[in-house]
Amino acid sequence: MSGPAQLEVSDLRVQITAQHGVVRPIDGVSLEIGAGEAVGLVGESGSGKSLTLKSILGLLPPEAKVTSGRVVFNGTDLTQLSRSRLNKVRGAKIAMIFQEPMSALNPVMRVGNQIAEGPRIHLGMSRAQSVRRAVDLMRRVGIPDPERRFRAFPHEFSGGMRQRVMIAMALSCDPELILCDEPTTALDVTIQDQILRLLAELCRESGTSLMFVTHDLPVVAQVCHQVAVMYAGRIVERGTVAEVFSRPLHPYTLGLLRSAPDVDRPGQSLVPIPGSPPSLASPPPGCRFHPRCKFAEEDCKATEPPLRLVDVSRVTACLHYERCLDEIGADT
């Protein structure tokens, strides 16, 4: 990252009180994003990625709460803001694109009015001004005949078009940061590619930062500059996309890469990660990945490894990260 951080998440911890006990789905997460950067957050389902995004904007479910840590956006700790002050940040400064637009959009409100609502509330536009802005945004994100489709309802749009509506809503107040919670998961590959290209182009044009949550590594490679790998509520590796994907420094990252198809190596055999992620109600002692790691030693079972800097811009939470490099060297 070049320059100061626009968003800095420091030692964030979230607790959920459930019938079977206390669950800590986010347990000491630290990451940052600079102005104009695109950062990917990857990991298996249940690793805490989506909850991390919701924590940033204070959108946690009622049973969950932030117990410690800081979420600093342009010098302001969002965890300390009142609901009214946080509402002024949501949409205006930080926007979010959700995974399933049909559940995020109001089914009985016309899509154009949903796009126009933000500029009226946050930018003080008149109805006529906000309608013009909504139509322009619909055109900008590739919705055909926007003047007519302004009055359509969400169920009249395809999945790809609904996602374009969500992008238009996110852009409606010119936010400085957009949080994307797997926005292309439910789309076919052709529409997914169109949406990813659209997001990357819009962020380049406006200088908007992007935090992109996904379990799809090729998506990260297409959109992001930096990547953070998350496992069982913790960040286990961070670095540039090029560095992390070519020289992973954590066995979990190596496992993710080996279990994902590579278009550059069509004959490559996929190697699944053995076992399953641990219960967040009772995670294993030491490194949380050690029950599934072939490099694990006794110290991995006893010591919880902290994130440590091992290169100019690389951090990893592995005590024996050199073995990943040895493994990669043996493959080449």
How confident is the model over 177-201, as a mean pLDDT? Answer: 85
Which residue has tokens 């967040």?
280
pLDDT band at 229 (very low <50, low <70, confident <90, very high): very high
Residue 328: its pLDDT value, please? Answer: 83
- The secondary structure of 134-188 as a DSSP string is HHHHHHHTT-SSHHHHTT--GGGS-HHHHHHHHHHHHHTT--SEEEEESTTTTS-
Distance, CA of 189 to CA of 258 (rounded, Å): 21
How confident is the model over 175-193, as a mean pLDDT? Answer: 86
Query: For 100-130, how does the pLDDT look when each residue is reduced to its tens digit (9 = 90+)?
Result: 888 889 999 999 999 999 999 999 999 999 9
Residue 259: its pLDDT value, please? Answer: 87
Joined tokens for residue 191 = 């529409």
Joined tokens for residue 241 = 């996309």
Residue 206: its pLDDT value, please? Answer: 82
Share of the chain above pLDDT 90, in %: 67
Choice between 192 and 48, residue whose per-residue pLDDT is larger: 48
Residue 309: its pLDDT value, please? Answer: 93
Residue 267: its pLDDT value, please? Answer: 62
CA–chain centroid gap for 178, Å, is 9
Distance, CA of 158 to CA of 103 (rounded, Å): 14
Mean pLDDT, rounded, of the chain: 90
Sheet with 64-73: strands ordered across: 21-34, 5-18, 64-73, 76-77
Distance, CA of 100 to CA of 210 (rounded, Å): 18
How confident is the model over 192-206, as a mean pLDDT? Answer: 83
Which among 75, 4, 76, 10 has a CA at the least distance from the CA of 33? 4
Share of the chain above pLDDT 70, in %: 96
Q: Is the pLDDT of residue 95 over 70?
A: yes
Residue 194: its pLDDT value, please? Answer: 84
Distance, CA of 15 to CA of 138 (rounded, Å): 39
Residue 257: its pLDDT value, please? Answer: 92
Query: For 273-299, how does the pLDDT look when each residue is reduced to its tens digit (9 = 90+)?
Result: 999 999 888 899 999 999 999 999 999
Residue 162: its pLDDT value, please? Answer: 92
Residue 313: its pLDDT value, please? Answer: 82
Say which CATH superfamily domain 5-93+175-331 falls into.
P-loop containing nucleotide triphosphate hydrolases (3.40.50.300)
Query: For 14-40, how does the pLDDT look when each residue is reduced to its tens digit (9 = 90+)?
Result: 999 887 788 999 999 999 999 999 999
pTM over 0.85: yes
Instruction: Pick left, alpha or beta for residue 46 (phi over 0 → left; psi -120 to 50 → alpha; otherwise beta).
Output: left
pLDDT band at 144 (very low <50, low <70, confident <90, very high): very high
Q: Is the pLDDT of residue 177 over 70?
A: yes
CA–chain centroid gap for 269, Å, is 28
Q: Is the pLDDT of residue 270 over 90?
A: no
Tell me which DSSP letter residue 90 carries. B
Domain ranges within the chain, ordered by starting residue: 5-93+175-331, 102-174
Residue 332: its pLDDT value, please? Answer: 59
